[in-house]
Structure 1
Amino acid sequence: MSDNTSYIIGTDIGTGSAKTIRLGVHSGAVIGSFQQAYPTLHPAPGYAEQDPEALLAAVKAGIREMAAAAGGPPLAIALSSAMHSIMAVAGDDTALTPLIIWADNRSEIQALTLRDTPEGINIYRQTGTPVHAMSPLCKIRWLRERQPALFAQAAMFPGIKEYILHHFFGHYITDHSIASATGLFNIATRQWSDEALTAAGIRAHQLPAPVPATHILTGLKPAVAAELGIPADTPFIVGGSDGCLAQLGSNALDAGHATITIGTSSAMRMAGLQPVTDAERRLFTYLLTDDIYITGGASNNGGVLLQWLVRDFLKQPLDNLQSLISAGLQAEAGTLICLPYLQGERAPIWNSHATAAFIGIQPQHSTEHFMRAALEGICYALRSIRDPLAATAGAIHKISVSGGFTASPGWIQLLADVFGQSMHVRQQQDASAIGAVMLAAEALKLPPIAGLQHQHEKIYTPDMDRHVVYNQRYERFIRLGEVVLKQ
């Protein structure tokens, strides 16, 4: 059988777009891809919302395009999704709110009042999710306190993948991976945490039923099947979170193998066989499957910082972003340091109130220098996650990278120089969607997709002379951050 008749569709529901791939199970090659973008709305300071119908339409478009291009139905469809989204839905399935995404900081006060209490510390130990405005736990607390009438109408609090699966199949379920990123899920018992539910002011029946990431759904609504152009009995694998699946898609489940993803946001992670938590609560620990845990830290500010810099600060079209990145990589930031906390920050400082800054501006600094400083700032923020990750999850022997930033080889080299470690790039397609496909193959009990295990890696080795320079700049970055964040 050819890849056109034996393939799996993987869809990653990201922050800026839904990315859908068609992967042949015999070759392990991505034989088709589709991407559809959608906006994030900021109706008030600290708010970050999306229209769930726009995300649903993008997912449908991707599946429809991939199935139509193949000329035959897929073996299965598997889903990946960004974490921490939440919305309120009434009993008749009417959406009461937009989708509130991870970047939304409106519940900062709710997070701060809970975080350092005995209750908050225990919730972190149970759930593996730092108490922070990103988490659905804190977002639900905000709705309860600030919009009590709306809160009282809510029968269900799904995230985006759960909302889409309900549209497809008519019931609410969530995978353990997404559930473990809510701050409401006990990763030891695999059930919603009673203590976290009490803190949120809701009951377990108001959250989707948790299932393993390999759970298979069948019985697609006939109207949806017709719209997608696939049989109604097509298996859907519920899948997991984008971060956990990026680890799987990067073939980075072995000990000491970390991954870095830079897209709209950024993150660094490692897999392990046991749930570990950081004594200082700087890191998350999420489930992938029942015997694989992903520990790491995420930064709010990856590509979103560069988009702001180009669109709002430099007043240039976003179409110029890639050329400006290339120009910035040729510049030398020198004294110019960027604290990249445009949308507050998660790991390791967990400060929703943090703000971005350029420090050390001199007359010779031009557009290219600001871009270079921003690129370095994103790398420094990731490096600040590495030390607590290594201390908590073990020594880091290898780093694989994925995400949109891999389109810029100079940026990968910069990251290697900042870290003083080699960066391994296996493929430039979306690692989260590939991870979803690999999970689907496991769920369907197919043989391992051999081509994915033996892909050629490109390795970016660090320039250790440059690393010495970046060590000095990194130390300045940390010192300046400590001063600015105290203000």
Structure 2
Amino acid sequence: MQTDTSAGEDCWIGIDLGTQSVRALAVTTTGRVLGSGRHPLDSVRDGARHEQDPRQWWSAVAAACSQATADLRGTIRGVAVDATSGTILLAGRNGHPFTPGLMYDDTRAAAETERVNDLGRDLWKRLGYQKMQSSWGLPKALWLLENTPLKTPARVLHQSDFINQMLTGGTVASDISNSLKTGCDLLTGTWPQDLMTSLGIQEESLPELTLSGTVLGHVSPSAADATGIPAGTEVIAGMTDGCAAQLGSGALTAGAWNSVIGTTLVLKGSTPDLLHDPSGVVYSHRSPDGGWLPGGASGTGAGYITRELPGRDLDALSDETPRHTPSDTVVYPLASSKGERFPFVAPDASAFRLGLPSNDAELYAALVQGIAFVERLAFDHLHSLGAPTDGPLVLTGGASRSRHWSQLRADILGRPVTLVDNSEPALGMAILAASAGGSVADTATAMVNVREVIDPQPGATRKYMEPYLRLVSELRARCWLGNTLAAHATDNAQKAAAG
């Protein structure tokens, strides 16, 4: 990414704690990047376990921020941090970590998940997501509290809480975005104390709660020395990495959506009302502007392409896509070995292919078409829940770098798609920091730079509806896709084919 170190403008620091690295950006109110930095992270994996050392998080944040601020001539006005959703640790009152960080995909807390869902079922239904998963924060917090020998009282911290404490040098509140998976009642912005007590979690073990975008404190002198961010700079309550990416895309007005295709497919949007999903595949964060940010994550995506076409020149194959679409080969491109979670829940689902392409170019075309079909099915599911889906659609992730693939998605979805210059989660956090006390959506409009809007080609959508409905029919025949969504998708496809 190009950076500009010549300007003396005000800027805001966004920090993104990913799985493999920490990324820091210094960004102006016009979206210009004045400085950037990155530092790697290491993980320990063993079956259901996935851990990282919280002290390494801080050293990586300090290194990335030092790079971003080293030649910076702008004036830093604020900093905000995003982190992986559901990552939990225990720490002492002084912030010293007692345990490793149990990462977002650590699933060892299976027994605790059953207790959480049994005792909290009414609240989870009221919040629209029906039940918790073993990778969520609350089951893992229970596991840690019950399996960690402690001589002094411990506090449950999210990954971002730990970094914010290191930045400020004191105890901080936890934002309700990162606290969603730890059981925060998003309707009231509070912990459900009766439920927590019944689970054996004491009130003093939980952080205070606050809205994303509020000021938590100020950068301490010691943190300033470590990061290069001036002492006294405001530290703003952040969000999860998925929400940060959505902020970076600018998809924040009611009915707007951000579709991310990388290894897997993630869809996040903005709605004025909380969605209730009987199937439990969609859950919603609170928007800093009010309203809701619903979304879901599929197991399908470009990871299936790299598995099926290892070592191939995918850019060259992408250039040939228009010659081979619509493809007669119908593919369900599940990147994981087993199990789907969005737009339907099917633990036994696995990838399949109907038809036999004659060469790699035809196979590639069928694969990207299949991913776009799942994307369309996801929108059909959201539409069936009553979500507004007719606003702008911003495409981000690795797939958005291919214009041919982006055109294919516009054609299959039957709607314009928007491409932006930069949608990193770190940009989203810079936007949130810059918007403190104002509108995040308005701030994002100024800071997110649109590269191109691609319209569907005339008459193209109806050409894809026959193979799309073959995929829907096959998913239904395998008992993975329910009758209600299958019927809704069929009705919408028939209207698109006729129109």
* TM-score of the superposed pair, with normalisation by structure 1: 0.81
Task: Give unmatched runs, 5+ long, in structure 2.
Answer: 483-499
Match of 2:287 in 1: 288
Taking the aligned partners of 1:455 and 1:471, their CA distance within structure 2 comes to 30
Work out the CA distance in 2 between the residues paired with 1:206 and 1:328. 57
Alignment map for 1:51-70 (pairs within 5 Å):
51-70=53-72
2:219–2:231: 8 Å Cα contact kept in structure 1? yes
* Residue of structure 1 in register with 2:186 after alignment: 187
| 1:347-394 deviation per Cα after TM superposition (whole angstroms, max 9, x unaligned) | 34456x55643445859576x677666545544444343233223353
**8 Å Cα contact 1:220-1:233 kept in structure 2:** yes
Identity of aligned residues (%): 23
Match of residue 476, structure 2, among 470, 476, 479: 479
CA distance in 2, matches of 1:151, 1:370: 56
In the alignment, the residues of structure 1 paired with residue 293 and residue 357 of structure 2 have an alpha-carbon distance, to the nearest angstrom, of 45
Please say which of residues 99-108 and 291-300 is displaced more in the overlay.
Answer: 99-108
Can you list the C-alpha shifts for 1:199-247, whole angstroms capped at 9, x where unaligned?
A: 6531232222211212224442322211212321122212222333444
Give deviations 1:278-300, integer Å, cap 9, x for gaps.
Answer: 23433102112262311222235
Q: Is the 8 A contact 2:275 2:387 kept in 1?
A: no
Give the distance between the partners of 1:38 and 1:104, measured in 2 at CA: 16
Residue of structure 1 equivalent to 2:380: 387
Q: Are the equivalent residues in 2 in contact too, given 1:90–1:155 (CA < 8 A)?
A: yes
Which whole-Å CA distance do the structure 2 matches of 1:32 and 1:325 have between them? 35
Q: Which has the larger radius of gyration?
A: 2
Aligned CA distance change for structure 1 residues 306 and 66 (closer, same or farther; 3 Å): farther
Separation of aligned partners in 2, 1:16 and 1:303 = 19
CA distance in 1, matches of 2:175, 2:480: 41
**Paired residue total:** 469
Normalised by the length of structure 2, the TM-score is 0.79
Q: Distance in 2 between matches of 1:322 and 1:129?
A: 39
| Structure 2 partner of 1:80 | 82
SS in 2 for 1:88: strand
Contact 2:167 2:223 in 1 (8 A): yes
- State which drifts further: 331-340 or 165-174: 331-340
Report the residue type matching 2:298 in the other structure.
S
CA distance in 1, matches of 2:474, 2:151: 45
> Shift in Å at residue 305 of structure 1?
5.3
Whole-Å separation in 2 of the counterparts to 1:321 and 1:156: 49
Please tell me whether the aligned partners of residues 127 and 185 of structure 1 are also in contact (alpha carbons under 8 angstroms). no
Stretches of structure 1 lacking an aligned partner (at least 5 in a row): none
Describe how 1:217-366 pairs up with structure 2 within 5 A: 217-263=216-262, 265-289=264-288, 291-300=290-299, 302=301, 309=307, 314=310, 323=315, 326=318, 334-342=329-337, 344-350=339-345, 353-354=347-348, 356-360=350-354
* Paired residue secondary structure (2:383): helix
Instruction: Report the equivalent of 1:173.
Output: 173
Confirm whether residue 407 of structure 1 aligns to residue 392 of structure 2. no
Structure 2 Cα separation of the partners of residues 391 and 29 of structure 1: 39
- 1: CA distance between counterparts of 2:55 and 2:299? 24
Partners in 1 of 2:127 and 2:332 — Cα distance?
38
Compute the displacement of 1:192 (Å). Answer: 1.0
Structure 2 CA distance, aligned partners of 1:472 and 1:355?
18
Q: Deviations over 1:54-102 (max 9, x none)?
A: 4433332332222123235412222223322112335564534432233
Structure 2 equivalent of residue 437 of structure 1: 430
User: Do the aligned partners of 1:245 and 1:288 also contact (CA within 8 Å) in 2?
Assistant: no
| Alignment RMSD (CA, Å) | 3.8
Name the counterpart of 2:12.
8
Q: Is the Cα contact below 8 Å between 2:34 and 2:74 reproduced in 1? A: no
Given the superposition, is the C-alpha separation of residues 97 and 326 from structure 1 closer, same or farther in structure 2, using an over 3 Å criterion? Answer: farther
User: Contact 2:284–2:294 (CA<8 Å) still a contact in 1?
Assistant: yes
Cα distance in 1 between the residues matched to 2:201 and 2:403 = 47
1:223 match: secondary structure:
helix
Distance 1:220 1:412 in 2: 41
